[in-house]
């Protein structure tokens, strides 16, 4: 077995998590309209019965990066918003500080936002659909995971971990749904439980998100007129996922350099509250007034569930490449269009002690 991916007495290596806009539900892709290749992946997954890895393309497993190992992951999320291609690029740095403790730092760049809120937000231009946004450096998301429970058995294991997240971002988020990776500054925490038996891995994540307020200026539609100081208060959110992974190849291991092929099915959801907004600025002796966000879909409370079928290959036990496609099951997210395409490339670096 590969000491990196398959030894239950060791730790597993990990991926990135990662998420903008409005379309009517009649335009959303459904299972009936999915490409045949995608349906074949789903049917193949549920037809399989037995053994996989927990290197999920979307969700985090409870296992850690092994102590002293450095990982780098490039991640791209792409979708088509009317006639605009939206991209999120992330570069995650991962380090196994202890056998049970892992740290991540993830800077991101995307064309999802501007540095200011849309003109006359929230009454007009919410959400902005098909508008040209520049590629901006969003900021950095920091993540720590501590594995507090481990149970190992022959050809199987169970892990449980807690995580904490803190993000510092510099963009103006104009939807209610909070996302710490690239939309909101804030903090988050949660619990992860992962079970692996032979070729099959199953993992559940439940988490809490507390986004910070955004204070900035709402530009006027008429050039030359001054903007209005505003404060946007985002409600707390809850994220949850249930992920399944299955090892297709190889059937047996003979050396570390064998190529692995895994397939995945991940169910990802979130619930959150309504945005509140005030205009005016108390620091300049200006009164603050509440602005109603009622009736603006992208600013209302909501919940949704998506599914992400995916495929992955691991080369020489150190290079991982995965691809997944997200579509809605119930309701929808207002921070992206569908389908959502995700590509991840991850490499691990090991420190070899000199004798």
pLDDT per residue, tens digit, the chain (355 aa), is 333 333 333 333 333 232 222 333 334 444 444 455 444 444 344 333 223 368 999 999 999 999 999 999 999 999 999 889 999 999 999 999 999 999 999 999 999 998 889 888 887 666 778 888 999 999 999 999 999 999 999 889 999 999 999 999 999 999 999 999 999 999 999 999 999 999 999 999 999 999 999 998 888 777 778 888 889 999 999 999 999 999 998 888 788 788 999 999 999 999 999 999 998 765 556 677 888 899 899 999 999 999 999 999 999 888 999 999 999 999 999 999 999 999 999 998 876 554 4
Tell me the C-alpha to C-alpha distance, in Å, between residue 285 and each of 281, 282, 288. 7, 5, 9
Answer whether 317's CB lies under 8 Å from 332's CB.
no
Tokens of 5: 């991916």
Query: Mind listing the pLDDT tens digit for each residue in 72-112?
Result: 999 999 999 988 999 999 999 999 999 999 999 999 999 99
Instruction: Specify the pLDDT at position 301.
Output: 97
Q: Cβ atoms within 10 A of the Cβ of 77, count?
A: 26
Per-residue DSSP letters for 17-43? Answer: --------GGGS--GGGS-HHHHHHHH
- Provide the pLDDT for residue 171: 93
Rounded to whole angstroms, the Cα distance separating 12 from 89 reads: 24
The C-alpha angle with vertex 138 and arms to 348 and 242, in degrees rounded to 5, equals 55
The two tokens of residue 260 are: 């692995």
Which tokens belong to 286? 């200006």
Q: Are strands 260-272 and 186-197 parallel, antiparallel or unpaired?
A: unpaired
Q: What is the DSSP letter of 99?
A: T
Residue-level pLDDT at 29: 46
Could you tell me if 278 and 229 are in contact, meaning their C-beta atoms sit under 8 angstroms apart? no
Is 307 within 8 Å of 243 (Cβ atoms)?
no
Q: Count CB neighbours of 78 within 10 A.
A: 15
Give the H/E segment covering residue 45: helix 36-47
User: pLDDT tens, 171-199?
Assistant: 999 999 999 999 999 999 999 999 999 99
316 neighbors 327 (Cβ within 8 angstroms): no
């Amino acid at each position: 077995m590969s000491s990196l991916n398959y030894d239950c007495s060791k730790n597993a290596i990990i991926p990135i998590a990662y998420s903008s806009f409005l379309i009517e539900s009649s335009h959303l892709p459904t299972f009936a309209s999915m490409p045949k290749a995608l349906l074949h992946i789903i049917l193949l997954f549920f037809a399989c019965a037995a053994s996989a890895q927990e290197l999920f393309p979307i969700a985090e497993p409870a296992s850690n990066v092994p102590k002293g190992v450095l990982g780098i992951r490039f991640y791209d999320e792409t979708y088509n918003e009317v006639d605009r291609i939206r991209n999120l690029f992330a570069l995650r740095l991962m380090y196994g500080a202890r056998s049970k403790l892992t740290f991540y730092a993830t800077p991101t760049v995307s064309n999802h936002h501007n540095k200011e809120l849309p003109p006359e937000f929230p009454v007009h231009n919410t959400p902005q659909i098909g508008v040209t946004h520049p590629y901006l450096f969003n900021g950095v998301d920091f993540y720590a995971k501590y594995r507090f429970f481990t149970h190992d058995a022959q050809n199987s294991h169970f892990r449980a971990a807690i995580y904490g997240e803190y993000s510092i971002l510099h963009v103006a988020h104009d939807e209610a749904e909070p996302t710490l990776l690239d939309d909101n500054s804030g903090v988050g925490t949660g619990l992860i439980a992962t079970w692996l038996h032979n070729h099959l891995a199953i993992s559940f994540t439940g988490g809490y998100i507390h986004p910070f307020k955004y204070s900035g200026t709402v530009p006027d539609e008429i050039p030359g007129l001054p903007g209005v100081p505003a404060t946007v208060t985002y409600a707390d959110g809850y994220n949850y996922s249930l992920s399944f992974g299955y090892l297709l190849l190889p059937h047996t291991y003979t050396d570390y350099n064998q190529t692995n092929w895994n397939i995945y099915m991940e169910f990802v959801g979130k619930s959150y509250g309504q945005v509140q907004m005030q205009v005016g600025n108390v620091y300049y002796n200006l009164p603050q007034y509440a602005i109603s966000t009622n009736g603006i879909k992208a600013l209302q409370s909501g919940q949704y569930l998506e599914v992400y079928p995916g495929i992955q290959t691991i080369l020489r036990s150190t290079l991982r490449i995965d691809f997944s496609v997200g579509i809605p099951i119930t309701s929808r997210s207002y921070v992206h269009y569908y389908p959502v395409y995700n590509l991840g490339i991850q490499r691990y670096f090991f420190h070899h002690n000199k004798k």
